[in-house]
């Protein structure tokens, strides 16, 4: 077992004891990661957000947990930054633009490489958000599970798929409540 792996386990156990968590927020560019983070942090939609270049790190308090959210840019040239944040991660949120059917295969492939088959994330809960449900063409969670092959790929993993809209807040509280429940269960 590697030194980094031992350190990661120690760090995660210490954070859980203090009701602190590090949540990694991933997804393709323009999926709504930053909009989601800002909504959870402020309780309302924040207009005028610009695409993330690099990363945004915020701390939110939700259900008694101090959660550090690490929202990392989804553009291909910035995905190398994702690797830096895997160690010590308590959970991962993968945000998908559920209305962008053309990019769904790319989202599926990126999810598979960076979350499903990632050894550093194999024991952390994965929350997949089918975002932009406020748009008429958005694919809902049951179909998203099928299209992403989650029913096959995530058999041995703790995961959930929630419909949400970071614009209106629909489903956001329910999704984060599920996530905190998972953090409590692993505490």
At the fourth CATH level, the homologous superfamily of domain 3-185 is P-loop containing nucleotide triphosphate hydrolases (3.40.50.300)
Taking a C-beta distance cutoff of 8 angstroms, is the pair 138, 99 a contact? yes
Taking the C-alpha atoms of residue 71 and residue 59, their distance in angstroms, rounded to an integer, is 11
What is the model's pTM?
Answer: 0.89
Taking the C-alpha atoms of residue 156 and residue 139, their distance in angstroms, rounded to an integer, is 24
Higher per-residue pLDDT: 54 or 13: 54
- For residue 180, the model assigns a pLDDT of 96
- Least Cα distance to 160 among 108, 94, 110 occurs for 94
Q: Sheet of 159-163: strands edge to edge?
A: 55-62, 65-72, 20-27, 91-97, 126-131, 159-163
Could you read off the pLDDT of 25-62 as tens digits, one per residue? 999 999 999 999 988 888 877 776 777 777 889 999 99
Q: What is the rounded average pLDDT of the residues 92-111?
A: 97
């Amino acid at each position: 077992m590697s030194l980094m792996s031992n350190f990661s386990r120690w760090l995660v156990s210490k954070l859980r004891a203090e009701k602190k968590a590090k949540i990694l927020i991933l997804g393709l560019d323009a999926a709504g990661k930053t909009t989601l983070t800002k909504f959870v942090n402020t309780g309302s939609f924040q207009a005028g957000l610009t695409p993330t270049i690099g990363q945004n790190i915020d701390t939110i308090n939700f259900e008694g947990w101090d959660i550090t959210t690490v929202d990392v840019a989804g553009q291909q040239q910035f995905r190398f930054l994702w690797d830096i944040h895997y160690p010590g991660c308590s959970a991962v949120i993968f945000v998908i633009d559920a209305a962008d059917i053309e990019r769904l295969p790319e989202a599926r492939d990126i999810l598979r490489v960076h979350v499903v088959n990632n050894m550093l994330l194999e024991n952390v809960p994965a929350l997949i958000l089918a975002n932009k449900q406020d748009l008429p063409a958005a694919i809902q969670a049951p179909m998203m599970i099928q299209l992403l092959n989650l029913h096959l790929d995530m058999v041995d993993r703790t995961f959930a798929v929630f419909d949400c809209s970071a614009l209106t807040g629909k489903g956001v509280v329910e999704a984060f409540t599920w996530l905190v429940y998972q953090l409590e269960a692993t505490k």
